[in-house]
Structure 1
Amino acid sequence: MAETVTPSGTTASPGQLLASFDPLLREWLPRQRWFAGKGRPVTGFTPVAATELLPPDGRLGLYHLLVRAHQPATLGSPTQPGDCYQLLIGVREALPPRLAPALIGHVEDGPLAGRTVYDALYDTRPAEMLLEALRSQARVGVLRFERDPRQEIREGLVARLMTAEQSNTSVVYGDTFILKLLRRVVPGVNPDLEIPLALAREGCARVPAPTAWLHAELDGGSDSYVLGVLQPFVRGAGDGWELALRELAKGEDFVADARALGRATAEVHTALARALPTVTLGHSQLRVLVDGMMERLTAAVQAVPALGPYETGLRSAFEALAGLAAEGRTWTAQRIHGDLHLGQCLRSPSGQWSLIDFEGEPARPLAERRMPQPTVRDIAGMLRSFDYAAHSVSPAATDWARACRAAYCSGYTEVAGTDPRTDPVMLRAYETDKAIYEVVYEARHRPDWLPVPLAAVHRLATSDLT
């Protein structure tokens, strides 16, 4: 574990440093958009690693922390070790007004007593230090800054923090690169780096190739955490969600874009099938998959009583899939995006679609996110996204969503050669599973949005989906 050095030159352990931050982080961390444990207090922290990037003996100090946040277990859930978060903490005597939104608090005890600490990613200099470390392939404590030697990283690019709400934090450098820093991190191979690297080797232009990446090596290298990925920034690009809402607001259709997006998705799936292993799912494998869907439904009904009247109909979608598997039907599974929706797609000013953010659903275990899956899971996620966009603007926009869904599947078929609508049982099962997830999410985080996924639940529970 890396040591930290105080202004006096004495050595402070990560535990001592974290102890001084503890009361401030307990208040600050749960307020962050990317904090996963909403609704439960933080009861304490365990240091995983602390690396001093800039000694706090001048105007600015900088620490990189990996900390495990402990919270009470939820009712009926086993005790967990706590999520590990990546924090970049700046230290100043006082914050200038421009950094007021980044304030964490004022340290009262420990080696930094009397100083002000803040989220350093709001600050230009610390953000630019990260880019320079990637450019020079630095090694600092447990941190390893790596890069693709074939890609150039120019010096002097000005950093700016992206303020849009998301589950991680992104910094743009001079409209040339974007650095995505993962906030909740786990040891192991992260698909947000693994898959774009594999697609780059295949020459798939639908996904920006990683330029550089940051990881931490702990316990002599036996534990490795992917912490961030630097990729080219698509200047002037709009994400699919905002573009779709814009067209809806103008009363325009989105059919051409939906078809092009279907082709882009199929190109990525085709390249991934070449780059990484595929497997065949038979009865035993499908039984595990269906059991997981059933368990998530049971838990969701307990968490959101509004799902209760639909439980039988929703369960029938999963039972139908299990029935096909019992009859001997098999499916091919491969690596996929894992959390595909309109917000994970970018359209360049030239009209080219790209797919981003291959982390998968962060709440699911890393091993599960890296498992081969039927491609229809991604397709179902995108179909739900069209439906979501339509209902979030107007419940009467069902024709818009229906046209987009059809165009997306048609575009996918043009490249893949197979139409996902020809497997309606699998498609319905995955779309149902996604809608159930959405209901739980909205009930916990945005109750006003709950009617949007509930409308889909009603449809999926009362009719066969084709």
Structure 2
Amino acid sequence: MPEAVISTVPSPTALLASLDPLLRAWLPGRRWFAGKGRPVTGLSPVAVTGLPPSPEGAPGAPAALYHLLVRVHQPPAPGAPEQRGDCYQLVVGVREVLPPRLAPSLIGHVTGGPLAGYVVYDALDDPGPAGTLLEALRSGARLGPLRFERDPDHEIRAALMPRVMTAEQSNSSVVYGDSLVLKVLRRIGPGTHPDLELPLALTRAGCARVPAPAGWITAGLPGGPWLLGVLQPYLQGADDGWELALRELAKGEDFAAEARALGRATAEVHTALARALPTVTLGHHAMARIVDGMTGRLAAAVRTVPALLPYAPGLRTAFTALGDLAGQGRTWTAQRVHGDLHLGQCLRSPDGRWSVIDFEGEPDRPPEERRMPQPVARDVAGMLRSFDYAERSADAPAPGWAETCRAAYCSGYARVAGHDPRTDPVLLRAYETDKAVYEVVYEARHRPDWLPVPLAAVRRLAAPEPVRNRPA
């Protein structure tokens, strides 16, 4: 029997008041929640929209379905300035009884307000509500502030069975059938978002290394549009680069050929981005701002993770060396880049071809920083760090594996781009150091068990030159 349907949409304030105590307890446990370790002091609604949960009277349909944009208020992190609070996207289902299959999605039992007596849960895990989002994209729906848009050149078939991807992510992804995947952004904000901007630009430039967006969801709010989700082709049978690397490590297999192919794919993406979007020349003053940013992030990281303190002077030399080069008149070309490139952002299809996905950039960086032109060394450094992560995550020691992959990746990159990233060691070291510092803070906040991995790189990068050139 279908559940009783909640026939009216409560006011945003009343609805959030009903959910407030549950969300305060539930949100900090989410993989994608950025404010771990700090108490939630308040919630405020940005937008609340009622969604059609499924055809009326369908068995097992939720009593109601709400799309929420909620601002979460917390004390600032140590040393950080006071902030307005992050805004998160939630799709909340309401039921009288939660079936066992949805038990892992439980947010809680509501005891007060307009939803009192009901159970609420993360409805992205529920096929009916997840299908609602695809149907809205297929039909180009407008629901309150929500805008569901599609590329007319892409077919979106109806009634594709949804399933949520369970891989660890900083967002949520729903696969529809075996043809489409919807990435639902969790932490959101206003303005042009690189996760849609760059794939669209690469599609226009004819770059086949990036799946072309089939549709997208935005919210028409002040400062907007706010990007909420991107629908792209699902690369059926593709291997995640991280999982593939770990499998090859476990078997003792060489990964150099794949690393070389990844280098070529990265260079193709960079070349296409340079064709599609403006490039700039970074002189002394522009590079000084970048160096100041790196130095400031290091100082903030030391305050957050005291284990960095002994290495800070050595790490700082990577940034001062780059500033010194700029002061001597050296310039660099900057362009739009991926911004968070690592093995997990790359997929290898069954025919061996590599694709690059997830152009959101590092989620802990400010949005305006993620859209700034950067030297391509930033992406290269991210991938070099990823090889190190893979080697140190292997069950059995594999000395030299990461160094072999790093060299193969750079040589593959050079073959397409015409220049080897290793020929600018000062720039590459600065970006690799900045990335390792970022990783230390990220792991300390989200995955403390992983902290030894970037700390090992920190020790290497902070060491004098002869030591630094040895594998970490």
TM-score range, shorter chain: over 0.9
Aligned residue number for residue 18 of structure 1: 16
Structure-2 separation of matches of 1:74 and 1:429:
25
User: Equivalent residue for 1:330?
Assistant: 331
Cα distance, 1:311 vs. partner? 1.6
Which has the larger displacement, 77-86 or 444-453?
444-453
After TM superposition, the structure 1 = structure 2 runs for residues 441-460 of structure 1, keeping only pairs within 5 Å, are: 441-460=442-461
Matched residue pairs, number? 458
Match of 1:207 in 2: 210
Amino acid at match of 1:252: E
Give the distance between the partners of 1:101 and 1:450, measured in 2 at CA: 27
Give the CA deviation at 1:8.
5.5
Deviation of the 1:163 alpha carbon: 1.2
Q: Which residue type is aligned with residue 224 of structure 2?
A: D
In structure 1, the gaps of 5 or more residues are: 1-5
Of 158, 165, 168, 1:162 maps to 165
Match of 1:114 in 2: 117
Q: Is the 8 A contact 2:250 2:396 kept in 1?
A: no
State the 1:394 CA deviation: 6.2
- 1:35 partnered with 2:33: yes
Q: Secondary structure at the match of 1:335?
A: coil
Partner residue of 1:274? 275
Q: Deviations over 1:74-95 (max 9, x none)?
A: 3332221110000000011111
| Match of residue 96, structure 1, among 59, 79, 99 | 99
Query: Which residues of 2 match residues 220-369 of structure 1 at below 5 A?
Result: 222-369=223-370
Distance across 1 between alignment mates of 2:102 and 2:464: 53
Partners of 2:196 and 2:230 within 8 A in 1: yes
* Cα shift readout 1:344-364 (whole Å, capped 9, x = no counterpart): 000011101000000001111
Cα distance in structure 2, aligned partners of 1:51 and 1:93: 20
Corresponding residue for 2:410? 409
Q: CA deviation at 1:55?
A: 7.4
1:7 aligned residue: 6
Letter in 1 for 2:443: E
CA shift, 1:442, in A, is: 2.2
Conserved 8 A contact 1:387-1:398: no
CA shift for structure 1 position 261: 0.2
SS at match of 2:235: coil
**Structure 1 residue 392 displacement after superposition:** 2.0
Amino acid at match of 2:272: A
Cα deviation, 1:100-130, whole Å, max 9, x if unaligned, reads: 1111112222222211111001100000111
List 4+ stretches of structure 1 deviating above 6 A. 55-58
**TM-score, normalised on structure 2?**
0.94
SS of corresponding position for 2:374:
coil
Q: Paired residue for 1:370?
A: 371
Q: Which residue of 2 aligns with 1:54?
A: 52
CA contact (8 A) 1:104 1:117 kept: yes
Deviation at 1:422, TM superposition (A): 0.6
- Partners of 1:168 and 1:183 within 8 A in 2: yes
Q: Is the 8 A contact 1:7 1:55 kept in 2?
A: no
Q: Provide, for residues 285-304 of structure 1, a one-character-per-residue CA deviation record: whole Å limited to 9, x for no partner.
A: 00000011111111222222
Contact 2:53–2:132 under 8 Å retained in 1: no
Q: CA deviation at 1:368?
A: 0.5
Find the aligned partners of 1:270 and 1:196 in 2 and give their Cα distance. Answer: 14
Q: Which residue of 2 aligns with 1:3?
A: none
- The structure-2 alpha-carbon separation of the partners of 1:117 and 1:301, relative to structure 1 and needing over 3 Å to count, comes to same
SS in 1 for 2:360: coil
CA RMSD after TM alignment: 1.6
Residue of structure 1 equivalent to 2:155: 152
Deviation at 1:461, TM superposition (A): 1.3
Q: Is 1:196–1:209's contact at 8 Å kept on the other side of the alignment?
A: yes
Give secondary structure in 1 for the equivalent of 2:431. Answer: helix
**Aligned pair in 2 of structure 1 residues 169, 55: CA closer, same or farther (>3 Å)?**
closer
CA-CA distance at 1:72 after TM superposition:
1.6
Distance 1:353 1:390 in 2: 20
Q: Is the 8 A contact 1:391 1:398 kept in 2?
A: no
Paired residues of 1:84 and 1:184 also in contact (CA < 8 A): yes
- Give the Å deviation of 1:54: 2.7
Matched, 1:193 2:191: no
Letter in 2 for 1:399: G
Instruction: Tell me the amino acid that sits aligned with residue 86 of structure 2.
Output: D
Normalised to the residue count of structure 1, the TM-score between the two structures is 0.95
Mark the CA change 1:54 to 1:101 in structure 2 (over 3 Å): closer, same or farther: same
**Secondary structure of 1:12's aligned partner:** coil
Shift of 1:457: 1.3
